[in-house]
Amino acid sequence: MNRSGHIGALLTQVRTRLRLRQAVLNGAVAAATAGSAAWLVLVVLGHVGVRGWAGWGTVTLALGVVLAAVLRPRWLWGSDDAVARAIDERLGASAGPGDLILSAVQLERLLPQLSGEPTVSPELVEALIRQVDERASRLDPRRLVELQLPRRRWLAVALMFSLYGVSLLTPAGRWLRVALALERAPAPSAQRASEPLVGDLEVRLTYPGYLQLPPRTITGSSGEVLAPRGTKVEMRGRLLVPAQRAELLLELDPGTSAAPATAPEPQVAVEEGRLAARFTVTGPGAYRFLLHTEADVALREADAHRITIEVDRPPRVDLRAPADDLEVTQPRSRIELAYSAEDDHGLGPLELVWRIDDHEQRLAVRQGSGLRQVAGSWEWDLAQVDLRPGVRVSYWLEVKDNDDVGGPNLGRSRTLYLHLYSAAQKHDEMLGREQVLLDHAVQLLGDRIDGEFLGPRKDAQDPAPPDGANPAAIEFERRSALHAASGRFIDELGSLLGTFDKDPLAGHELRVAAGEMHQRLARLHRAEEKEVRSLSSRIQAGRSPGETLTAAALRGLREANPRHVSELERDVLLLDDFLQRQRLEQLLSLSDEMARARDRLKKLLAQYKNSHSEALRQEIERELRRLEQKLAELESKAAQLGGHVPDEFLNREALADSDMHQRLDSLREMLARGDVDQAMSELDRLSRTLDQVAQSFEGGLRGYRGDRFSEEERALAELESQLADLEHDERELATETEKVRSRYQQATEQHMRERVEPFAKKALEQVAELQKKVDAIDPRLLTPGDGERLAGTRRAVDDLGRSLRQADLDQAREQVRAARSGLSDVQLGLTLQEQRQQWTGARTPYRKARGNAAEGEEVARRLAEELERQFPRSDELLSPADRQRLEELRQQQAGTSRRLEEARRELEQRSRGQRSPGMMQLAGEGMKQASQHMERAQNQLGQGEPRDALAAERQAADQLGQLRQQVSQSRRPREQDGRGGGQDEVVKIPGADEYRAPRDFREDLLDAMKRAAPEAYRERVKRFYEELAR
């Protein structure tokens, strides 16, 4: 087709506009028509009670009609001819004769045919087309087809749609809503029945499954329903009025949103004069039956039947133990929780919930049982809690029921609190109290010094008393007030003394010093008390103070005051010294804690480097936060100390100049970047800074102690050094004795090897006999204690046989002793039992058992003697050189012992003059014990018993070492939490089965067993060693 351009363009533009115009017009007309029709149909449907699909079908049909009307113009204006015709029509006469555009369109279509079959001159046609085309170029499609509809039409359409919408929303549109199933049809207007409509009602309630209740049938029911939500209700009854059909009219309780019953819709069936209805209870409300009688009369029950919800009460849980808040001392301990829980229908899971700060965690205590009541106890392993000293954990129990209809109900116990004991926190509180005490002491000292200026002094600055007042009486009044203030201070000090026990970090020296201070002050107070009372009596005896009290009478009080001043001066300084020392120690402890946190961080980083576990990452973050907290605490405490401790002893620069905050920040950044190697290097740098800070604090503390506690510090330093020397010498001695003992042991073994085999064979027979005797003793005849002894004896006899088979006579000797001793005890126990039973006539079994025990003991005695005879005397086995060596060692031991004794005496003398002799007294006691060990070692060496001597020497050395450590610890602050650095480590305790005492250890134990214990404890000690050796 070679259509000219302007005609084609005109056709396209006009077609579009024609389609649009027609679509709008058609749509409006169709909407009006179909909408009105649908509205009418819906109302009718609603009235007749047809709901749902029919209503929506009508709406769909109406929409379909409107859609068709809108789409129709597309088809109508599809051909060029129709459009050309429409243009020609609009142009009318103005266009000239005939259908000009249509002709051009049609002729253009015929043009190819005309060239082959020239009915008309093609040139002429082309000329026409050109002419029309030129004309078409001047035509404006907008003027040919106007889109704008008359406003009146638009308004009519809009009004119509508004009416539809409004009618749907207003009460008048109720039937529309019913037809569209948006609302239930209202009950047909019914007459209120004057008589019952349904009788012999039987109600069957099927409860929700979670209640685990059997169905319940209620015959002769009034129709009232009392059931939990979710209960299925089935009703059967007899129609008292003949009816074609029936309905159930549901009524909501005012204020409730839930319908009394839910889908499936209440179903009501009528058959042969009987009615059956079913529904599910979903909320409170009421219902009535509506009967349609055969005469098509609707009858409604006069009284509604109540639907009452039987409430599923939330479960109740009681946390019965612990009774109160708890303070635990170990972060990994377990605490027992006792609980009881109950629910009206059945219990779900029971959980423990705890919260630290805002972080809540929970743990299952027991699974849901469905039981209505449970009670029990449960151990809470605190290792699962991130417990840190001083932290406060709130915890409670939560239990749910199994309500799967309305959702589970929750029961919650009371909240209890758990603290992890923090020695540091306690100590901090204690220091606060000490500071208050010190402040009061200073004030009291000030008062007492003011007291020096009371009375007739030339430099007294008090104004003259008012006329008529007795100056002595005024002075007495003031001195009495001073006395009372002293009393209050002494009470306060006494109260503080009482709380020292709660602070394990309060040094022993401080306790002693404060105790002595209290005594001194109390003594002064008592003396002053006499004076005050005596003067008070005099005043009371007189008619007026002025008549009875003279200045001279106050002499005693005046003379006492300087003693108070002097004492308080001493006490103030002492309290201040101790307080600041403890604060410096606190700083050092904090830096120690930081060092421990640093070490943990190092370990964690090393682990994280390999695993990159998220849990470790979080642990690292926690540890970093801990470090930051400690650093902040350290800075705060150092700042607080500023005004109290001279600069010489507190190097603030070390902390102020440290770059620990920066390092911690960059460490965190490096970790965030995942650069663990860099982070570890940064931690190393932080470590060095931290060590420097700690060193600086340590130096400061040492300086402070040297300055303020110089005498004591010197004494303790000297003592530590002496103890170290003595320990060293004693260990040297033990090393030398060990050499002799080793040779002695070899000689003994050689000697025994020659004798042991023939002896063991014979001895085993005796052991068999012994075993028989022991086995024959009925343990049921024994008291629990003797029963245990018998069991121990049996074990000893078993071991004895084993030792003899292994040719270990040394062991066998100890075991036979144990067996003999056990049998002796058992025998005694049986004798006593036998005596008790003499009145009951049941003595025979006891006598028999006692006889077995006695015979067994006799066998053991013989065996012990024979065993003993197998052992040579030590001097037989020791070479002359070793005997000589033992003598030398004995002399050495005597020398060490002498030095120890001298050091102890010196210490005693020193401690007498000390203001805080606590540690020294302790050391003195320890040295005395070490001295006893040395004395025993000396005796054993003299008797040629290297084994016994060695044990005593080791004990002496250990004792000295322990003492040295104690002295060292007392010079350095103890760990902040009193538990050292292991608090965060998992403590592994090897199982008893895994553990076997090494031979050397057993030997040492046996050596120790030989030493004499006090008579009253001998047996207990022996048994203790036996158990230990096993």
Partner 1 sequence: MRGSLVALLLVCLGARALAAPPAAPAQADHVHDLLEEWRVTEAAAEADKLAASDPEDPATLLAVGDVRFQQGDYKGALERFDRALVGLPRGAGEEWRALRELIASTAAATRDFKEATSPDGHFIIRYGGRDEILLPYAFAALAAARREIAERDFGGMAAFDAPVRVEIYSEIADLARVSTLTLKEIETSGTIALCKWNRLMIVSPRALVRGYPWLDTLAHEFTHFVVSRASHNTVPIWLHEGLAKFEERRWREAPGGTLSPTMEHLLATALGRSGRLITFEEMHPSMAKLPSQADTALAFAEVASVIEYLQGRHGWEGIRQVILYLKSGSSDARAIAAVTNRSFSEFQSDWKSWLRGRKLRTHPGLVPASLKFARRGKGQAAERDREKDEDDTQEITEERARRFARLGGMLETHGRLAPAAFEYEKAQGLTGPGNLPVANRLARTYLALGDAERAIAAATPASELYPDSAGLSVTLGEAWRRKGQAENAIRYLETALRVNPFDPAPHCALAQLYDAKDERRAREERACGTLHGAPGK
Which residues are at the interface with partner 1 (CB under 8 A)?
439, 442-443, 445-446, 449-450, 452-453, 461, 569, 572-573, 576, 638, 642-643, 645-648, 651-653, 655-657, 707
The CB density around residue 122, as the number of other CB atoms within 10 Å, is 17
C-alpha separations of 835 from 680, 782, 829, 846, 855 in Å: 77, 13, 10, 9, 19
Among all chains, which residue has been given the structure tokens 């044990």? 951
Nearer to partner 1, 647 or 985 (CB): 647
* Shortest distance in whole angstroms from residue 475 CB to partner 1: 17
List, as one string, the DSSP characters of 533-547.
HHHHHHHHHSSSHHH
Sign of CA dihedral 644, 650, 656, 660: negative
Nearer to partner 1, 438 or 903 (CB): 438
Nearer to partner 1, 261 or 574 (CB): 574
* Shortest distance in whole angstroms from residue 639 CB to partner 1: 8
The CB density around residue 49, as the number of other CB atoms within 10 Å, is 12
Nearer to partner 1, 580 or 766 (CB): 580
Determine the 3-state secondary structure of 356 from DSSP. strand
Which of the 8 DSSP states describes residue 97? S
Q: Which amino acid is at 352?
A: L
Nearer to partner 1, 404 or 647 (CB): 647
List, as one string, the DSSP characters of 948-976.
HHHHHHHHHHHHHHHHHHHHHHHHSPPPT
* Shortest distance in whole angstroms from residue 674 CB to partner 1: 35
Q: Are 997 and 1029 in contact (CB under 8 A)?
A: yes
For the chain, the distance separating the N- and C-terminal CA atoms, rounded to the nearest angstrom, is 119
Nearer to partner 1, 444 or 756 (CB): 444
* Shortest distance in whole angstroms from residue 972 CB to partner 1: 23
Own/partner contacts of 626-630, CB < 8 Å, gap of 24 or more, are: 626/388, 626/597, 627/594, 627/597, 627/598, 627/601, 627/664, 628/661, 628/664, 630/590, 630/593, 630/594, 630/597
* Shortest distance in whole angstroms from residue 427 CB to partner 1: 23
Nearer to partner 1, 548 or 586 (CB): 586
Nearer to partner 1, 447 or 475 (CB): 447
Nearer to partner 1, 159 or 573 (CB): 573
Nearer to partner 1, 572 or 590 (CB): 572
* Shortest distance in whole angstroms from residue 539 CB to partner 1: 28
The CB density around residue 518, as the number of other CB atoms within 10 Å, is 17
Sign of CA dihedral 723, 728, 734, 740: negative
* Shortest distance in whole angstroms from residue 923 CB to partner 1: 26
Q: Maximum CA pair distance of the chain?
A: 166
| Strands of 295-404, DSSP E | 298-300, 305-309, 316-321, 326-328, 334-342, 347-356, 359-366, 373-381, 392-401
* Shortest distance in whole angstroms from residue 467 CB to partner 1: 26
Q: Are 976 and 593 in contact (CB under 8 A)?
A: yes
Nearer to partner 1, 443 or 750 (CB): 443
Q: Which amino acid is at 407?
A: G
Nearer to partner 1, 573 or 997 (CB): 573
Nearer to partner 1, 136 or 572 (CB): 572
What is the Cα–Cα distance from 524 to 756, expressed in whole angstroms?
A: 77
Q: Are 781 and 845 in contact (CB under 8 A)?
A: yes
- Two tokens, residue 690: 């931290």
* Shortest distance in whole angstroms from residue 653 CB to partner 1: 5
Nearer to partner 1, 269 or 656 (CB): 656
* Shortest distance in whole angstroms from residue 456 CB to partner 1: 18
* Shortest distance in whole angstroms from residue 489 CB to partner 1: 14
What is the three-state SS of 906-947? HHHHHHHCCCCCHHHHHHHHHHHHHHHHHHHHHHHHHCCCHH
Nearer to partner 1, 96 or 646 (CB): 646
* Shortest distance in whole angstroms from residue 657 CB to partner 1: 7
Residues 6+ apart with CB under 8 A from 727: 957, 960, 961, 964
* Shortest distance in whole angstroms from residue 486 CB to partner 1: 15
Half-sphere exposure of 415 (CA within 13 A, CB side): 9
Nearer to partner 1, 388 or 440 (CB): 440
Measured N-to-C along each axis, helices 100-116 and 80-91 cross at an angle, to the nearest 10 degrees, of: 130
What is the Cα–Cα distance from 202 to 275, expressed in whole angstroms?
A: 10
Nearer to partner 1, 589 or 696 (CB): 696
* Shortest distance in whole angstroms from residue 485 CB to partner 1: 13
| Strands of 73-149, DSSP E | none
C-alpha separations of 677 from 244, 600, 602, 781 in Å: 90, 16, 11, 71
* Shortest distance in whole angstroms from residue 900 CB to partner 1: 33
Q: Are 184 and 266 in contact (CB under 8 A)?
A: no
Sign of CA dihedral 378, 381, 386, 389: positive
* Shortest distance in whole angstroms from residue 594 CB to partner 1: 18
* Shortest distance in whole angstroms from residue 697 CB to partner 1: 13
* Shortest distance in whole angstroms from residue 654 CB to partner 1: 9
Nearer to partner 1, 375 or 656 (CB): 656
What is the Cα–Cα distance from 136 to 10, expressed in whole angstroms?
A: 7
What is the Cα–Cα distance from 587 to 578, expressed in whole angstroms?
A: 14
Residues 6+ apart with CB under 8 A from 375: 338, 339, 340, 341
Which of the 8 DSSP states describes residue 872? P
Q: Are 206 and 236 in contact (CB under 8 A)?
A: no
